[in-house]
Amino acid sequence: MSHTTKNKAALLGRVRRLKGQMEAVERALEAEAPCGEILNLVASVRGAINGLMGELVEDHIRMHVVDPDTETDKVRSQGAADLIEALRKYLK
């Protein structure tokens, strides 16, 4: 099972909202909306992409590499927990 399967519905919802945000950028460009508005829309899309990437990476570590909550090897468990914590700080 893919890690994306587990939270598939939640991730799909997130991706569809992102697609909707891209469509808002498209409509704003077509309507020649004020530039500041377009810049803000694109900055929001970028924030949402970073959030999605962070969630996918964390899911991936837990499902396919080492899940710190269930791993019995203490070094690996701590290593995975430290990795997730650092990436949360970094991928935002």
Which residues are near a second copy by CB under 8 A? 1-5, 8, 11-12, 15-16, 18-19, 22-23, 25-26, 28-30, 32-36, 38-40, 42-47, 49-50, 52-53, 56-57, 59-61, 63-66, 75-76, 78-83, 85-87, 89-91
Residue 45 CB, shortest distance to a second copy, in Å, is: 6
Helix 74-90 vs helix 35-60: crossing angle, to nearest 10: 180
Mention every residue, 6+ apart, whose C-beta is less than 8 A from residue 92: 50, 51, 54
Count of alpha carbons within 13 angstroms of residue 73, beta-carbon side: 7
Residue 16 CB, shortest distance to a second copy, in Å, is: 7
Residue 86 CB, shortest distance to a second copy, in Å, is: 4
Q: Are 8 and 55 in contact (CB under 8 A)?
A: no
